[in-house]
Structure 1
Amino acid sequence: MAKSTRLYRISFRNHDQIFEVYAREVSHGALLGFVEIGKLVFGEKSSVVVDPTEEKLKAQFEGVERFFVPAHAVIRIDEVAAQQGPARITSAGDSGKVMPFPIYPPSSKN
């Protein structure tokens, strides 16, 4: 029986940036409150055009088998078809379309 190879696109916040990566494994993981991401997939090495953000992600995750992202930092997880886009990093800045979940309640000034 052939094993299906699923591909996931995961978007998550990392400081003031949004990372979008592709992976074969995503689960709730063994650590409470974290999403476990494994078997990262990057674009083909034979392509002539080099995307600097994808190269930065490749270098950052070089040698990493799996990593854990806090659940509150995950923006979206999609199961995608066999085709994948490039992994990328975008700035979340104040003008971004993604509103972060507030971590601390607003302080009351009396």
Structure 2
Amino acid sequence: MAKTLYKITFFNAGKVYELYARRVGSSALWGFTEVAELVFDVHEGLVVDPTEERLRDEFGGTKVLHLPMQSIVRIEEVERKGASAIRDATTGEKVVTPFPLPGKPR
């Protein structure tokens, strides 16, 4: 039997984050929602999603994430994992750090 999977959409620092987790519930901290067992794609090939890498760097070592209830946009129970994302809160466009090209000035 497959474990339940949730897609959590929340505001953080002017951006909208979309993460996947196996466990969501009420936190022991009043006014917070507890998100645990975060799920990230494991890429072992040449193609790496920079957004997924950025999220793994930021939240990879997190045991439990306590999100303020007012920052949560939506929690969905989903059948399979989609792409995690970081979006601009005003435009809704994905925020992706472009891959630096050789010889291109910064």
* Unaligned stretches of 5+ residues in structure 2: 93-106
2:34 corresponds to: 36
Q: Which amino acid aligns with 2:88?
A: S
**2:16 matches 1:25:** no
- Correspondence 1:91 to 2:88: yes
Secondary structure of the structure 2 residue equivalent to 1:57:
helix
1:23 is displaced (CA, Å) by 0.2
Contact 1:8 1:77 in 2 (8 A): yes
Which deviations, in whole Å up to 9, do the C-alpha atoms of 1:56-108 show, x marking residues without a partner?
00000121111100000000000000x21121101102x44xxxxxxxxxxxx
CA distance, structure 2, for counterparts of residue 26 and residue 40 of structure 1: 10
Aligned counterparts of 1:9 and 1:88: Cα–Cα separation in 2: 11
Please, what is the CA RMSD of the aligned residues?
Answer: 1.4
Question: Out of 28, 48, 59, which is 2:57 matched to?
Answer: 59
Correspondence for 1:107: none
- 1:58 counterpart letter in structure 2: R
Structure 1: give runs of 5+ residues left out of the alignment.
Answer: 97-110
Structure 1 partner of 2:76: 78
Are 1:42 and 1:86, in contact at CA under 8 Å, matched by a contact in 2?
no
| Identity level (%) | 40
Q: Match for 1:44: what amino acid?
A: V
SS in 2 for 1:79: strand
Q: Is the 8 A contact 1:21 1:87 kept in 2?
A: yes
The number of equivalent residue pairs is: 92
Q: Secondary structure at the match of 1:26?
A: strand
